[in-house]
Amino acid sequence: MLNVDLHCHSTASDGLLPPAEVVRRAASNGVDMLSLTDHDDLGGLPAARSVADELGMRFVNGVEISIEWGGLQVHIIGYAFAADDPALNDGLASIRSGRISRARRMATELETIGIGGCFDGAMRFAENPNLISRAHFARYLVESGVCKDVRSVFESYIVPGRPGYVDHRWATLEESVGWILGAGGVAAVAHPGRYKLSRPEMRLMLDDFKRCGGQAIEIVSGSHSAENVTVFSRLAREYGFLASCGSDFHGPGESYIDLGKLAPLPPDLTPVWEAFRP
Ligand code: AMP
Ligand code: MN
Ligand code: MN
Ligand code: MN
C-alpha cells in the first residue's frame, strides 16, 4: 500500500528541520508521496522537490493557509498548484505581512503580565522572520522557563482567552480557496477536528468551503482522534469530499506522530491524490 503524507512543516515556517531534511526523513520512514505544507509560504518547495527527485519520491506542492472563519483561526491546505502563480503568491505575502504586527502585539500583551523579551525571543527561533508564529513564541516561553513544554504553553498562553492571544484578521475562506484553485490546485480543510465548532457550525463551514470550490478534507491527521476519523469520514461521504491524510509533523519531539506513520484512510473514501494532475 502507498505510504502518503500530505501535511508537514519545515523551517520555511514553524517546523524544526530544513526542507531537505524533512524530505530525507520522510524517505527513510518509507513515504512514497509527500507534500510539504508550510504555513503561508512557498519558500521551502524548490529544495524539497529537488531532494525528493533525487530520492525518487513523489513530491506534491503544498501550503497551509491561515484564514479566519466565524471568528476562529482555520487552516486551508492547497495541493498540487503552480507555485509561481502571481495571485497565490501575492495573497500569501499579504498574510505574512500581518504576522509581524501580530507578533509585536502578542509581545506587548505578554509584557503586561511580566513576561518580557518575547518579540526578540520568538524571532530567534524563526528562521523565516516573515513567518513568525505562535509556535516560535511557544519555544521561547519554554526556553525562558515560563512553561515546561510547548503543549503546556498552548494550554495557558497565546490561545483565545489566555494571556498573549491577540485577534488577527487572516485571509477569508473564499480568498484562500480562490487562490488555490486559481493556481490549478486542490483545496482541503486541515484537521477539521481541531476547531472549536459545534456540529451545526462545522456544517456551515463545510457548506461555505464546498460553495467556494473546496474538494477535500483531512481525515487521518496527527491531530485527530479515532472518533474524529469516524465523524469526518461520515461527513466526507455526505458532502462528496475527497479524503486527505497527513502527520502535521513539525519536528522530532514536537509532534504527535512522525512523518509517514499514519493509519490508512477508510477504504471506501476517494483519496485526494486521485485529483492531482500527473
Ligand atoms: P500561528 O499560525 O502563528 O497562529 O501559530 C499556529 C501554530 O502553533 C500551529 O501551526 C502549531 O504549529 C502551533 N500550535 C497551535 N496550537 C497548538 C497546540 N495545542 N499544541 C502545539 N502546537 C500548537
Ligand atoms: Mn505550525
Ligand atoms: Mn494547522
Ligand atoms: Mn500544519
Centre of ligand 4 to C-alpha 114, Å, is 30
Centre of ligand 3 to C-alpha 7, Å, is 9
Centre of ligand 3 to C-alpha 238, Å, is 24
Q: Report pLDDT for 81.
A: 98
Look at ligand 1, atom 16, and give the residue with the nearest C-alpha.
154
Identify which of 133, 142, 221, 250 to mutate to test ligand 1's pocket (most ligand atoms within 8 A of the CB): 133
| Whether the Cβ atoms of residue 40 and residue 98 lie closer than 8 Å to each other | no
Distance CA 75, CA 63 (A): 10
Location of each CATH 3.20.20.140 domain in the chain = 4-96+169-275
Q: Which residues does ligand 1 sit against, CB inside 6 Å?
A: 14, 39, 66, 73, 133-135, 150-151, 154, 250
Look at ligand 1, atom 11, and give the residue with the nearest C-alpha.
135
Helix (H), strand (E) at residue 140: helix 134-143
Look at ligand 1, atom 20, and give the residue with the nearest C-alpha.
151
Answer whether CATH 1.10.645.10 is correct for domain 4-96+169-275.
no
Burial of 278 (0-12, 13-18, 19+ CB in 10 A): exposed
The residues whose Cβ lies within 5 A of ligand 2, an ion, are 14, 135
> Which atom of ligand 1 lies closest to the CA of 159?
16
| Cell (9 digits) for 161 | 482567552
Look at ligand 1, atom 3, and give the residue with the nearest C-alpha.
133
Look at ligand 1, atom 13, and give the residue with the nearest C-alpha.
135
Secondary structure letter of residue 272 according to DSSP: G
Alpha-carbon torsion angle 80, 249, 25, 57, nearest 10: -20
Q: Report pLDDT for 253.
A: 87
Q: Report pLDDT for 255.
A: 86
Centre of ligand 1 to C-alpha 37, Å, is 14
Answer whether CATH 3.30.930.10 is correct for domain 99-156.
no
Supply the pTM of this predicted model: 0.98
Location of each CATH 1.10.150.650 domain in the chain = 99-156
List per-residue pLDDT tens for the chain, 278 residues long. Answer: 899 999 999 999 999 999 999 999 999 999 999 999 999 999 999 999 999 999 999 999 999 999 999 999 999 999 999 999 999 999 999 999 999 999 999 999 999 999 999 999 999 999 999 999 999 999 999 999 999 999 999 999 999 999 999 988 899 999 999 999 999 999 999 999 999 999 999 999 999 999 999 999 999 999 999 999 999 999 999 999 999 999 999 999 888 899 999 999 999 999 999 999 76
Centre of ligand 1 to C-alpha 268, Å, is 31
Look at ligand 1, atom 19, and give the residue with the nearest C-alpha.
154
Distance CA 190, CA 5 (A): 13
